[in-house]
Structure 1
Amino acid sequence: MPVCTLYLVSLRTTISDFLYLLLKSEPQPLVVSRVIRWVIVPESLSVDPLLSRNIPWDLLFILPSEDGLSPELQEHIGNEWSVKVGVPSRIVSGFKERNEKLLFPKIEDVPPLTGALDQPRIAGSTQGLELTDELRGWIEGFSQREGQNAVSMLNLLAFKPGMKEEYLKYGAEFAKSIGSRRGGDAKIVGSVIDDGKGLGSGTGSTGKVWDEIALAHYPSIEHFGDMLASEDYQEVNHRHRIGSLKDTFILCTSELDLLGIRSRARL
């Protein structure tokens, strides 16, 4: 199983300058995304490196390598959080082509919204992956500003003892109906091998405190909101997902068009 490294970084330089160097280096990233906002924040794991210092994270990127970043790239990074992840070969192989189809689909391949956002189920907090009035308002504003562009939700997962199988039932329902009917696609999934840089269990720690990652694609932020607002999703969410997790976080990101950036930079 290939080992990939997921990075969250805040930059000392501009995103464009950093991307120019990143896309000239090897190996090429599978994904590069602009960080948008937290949907769920971690409550017990990796809280200090991710939240306590109010770091303005700029980019998420995933490299198909367990080697560290080059000194040239490191010079442009102010803060970094990373995890090493085993990703199945079937996902890494041909990912670029599959991802292009997800990011730039044919109009007829984008499922319509179900209307759940018109009369949404509203909760008091997003920590259970439910829709709040605040998140609903943000989704409306983001959609107006950004248009109908795809978003990717980075999920980090830590399971309660013996509860992974219960979460897998949630994943199966997501793929079969509750996510897929809104265009949801867990396009990168993997098992965490080492999150020592996350310092989840103490400064300088090695090993891992997180169990899995999932990068979930949605055709637009409204498709994500449509899912959260719906009764069919929340029934499965409450039955299989919420109780199976010791801790989690979800970070909303917007993937960058790597092909277009390479073309403009003439790489």
Structure 2
Amino acid sequence: MGVNLLNVRGLEAMELQAPVVMVNLMRFRERSLDGDGSGWDAYLRYSALTVPMIKARGGTLLWTGDAKAVALGVEAGNQWDYLALVYYPTVAAFIDMMTSADYETRCDPHRTNGCAEHVIIATKEAYSKFKVG
């Protein structure tokens, strides 16, 4: 896993100047690949580095929480440990962060060490009770 899995082509097919909420689904390793604590510990190191990068691009964390159970649908393959909803003012801001040298060298190793699987789904708002931005 790594930034080489970033679907830049798919993201660039979206409206680059439109706001986006990224739905992050994470499954953690029992032990961090670098031997420094658990997968969760590595993810906390990742988060401490990426949140300032998100905020510097005008984004913010909207919600994070533990995944508890599959409420509807097939359980197999859908067990996640943690979810995060992250707002970016533009799709371009997300691409900029994810393709930056700083992200690739400082942040992504912690994500890779901590996450056995990390899926990010880019969304286009259809309805929201909340106005962000």
Deviation of the 1:243 alpha carbon: 1.7
Question: 1:198: Cα distance to partner?
Answer: 4.6
CA distance in 1, matches of 2:48, 2:101: 17
Say which structure, 1 or 2, has more relative contact order (CA 8 Å, 6+ apart). Answer: 2
1:130–1:228 contact (8 Å) kept in structure 2: no
Identity %: 30
For normalisation by structure 1, the TM-score amounts to: 0.41
Q: TM-score, normalised by structure 2?
A: 0.76
How many residues get paired?
A: 122
CA RMSD of superposed structures (Å):
2.5
| Residues 155 and 231 of structure 1, relative CA distance in 2, 3 Å threshold | same
Q: Distance in 2 between matches of 1:256 and 1:138?
A: 19
Alignment correspondent of 1:129: 3
Shift of 1:131: 7.0
The gaps in structure 2 that reach 5 residues or longer are 31-37
After the TM superposition, which residues 39-188 of structure 1 pair with which residues of structure 2 at under 5 Å, given as runs?
128-130=2-4, 135=8, 137-143=9-15, 148-161=17-30, 162-176=38-52, 178-188=53-63
Q: Deviations over 1:201-248 (max 9, x none)?
A: 48xxxxx83111001111111001111111011113332101211122
Distance of 2:92 and 2:70 partners within structure 1: 32
Does the Cα contact within 8 Å between 2:46 and 2:108 map onto a contact in 1?
no
Q: Is the 8 A contact 2:50 2:107 kept in 1?
A: no
User: Runs in 1 of length 4+ with deviation above 6 angstroms?
Assistant: none
SS at match of 2:67: strand
Distance verdict in 2 for CA 1:226–1:130, change over 3 Å: farther
Instruction: State the partner residue of 2:105.
Output: 235
Q: Alignment partner of 1:194: what SS?
A: coil
The Cα of 1:184 is off from its aligned counterpart by 2.7
Secondary structure, in 3 states, of the residue corresponding to 2:3? coil
The answer for the alignment partner of 1:252 in structure 2 is: 122
Report the Cα offset of residue 252 of structure 1. Answer: 0.7
Q: How far apart, CA to CA, are the structure 1 residues paired with 2:50 and 2:55?
A: 6
Residue of structure 2 in register with 1:13 after alignment: none
- The AA in structure 1 aligned to 2:27 is A
Contact 1:131 1:228 in 2 (8 A): no
Larger Rg: 1
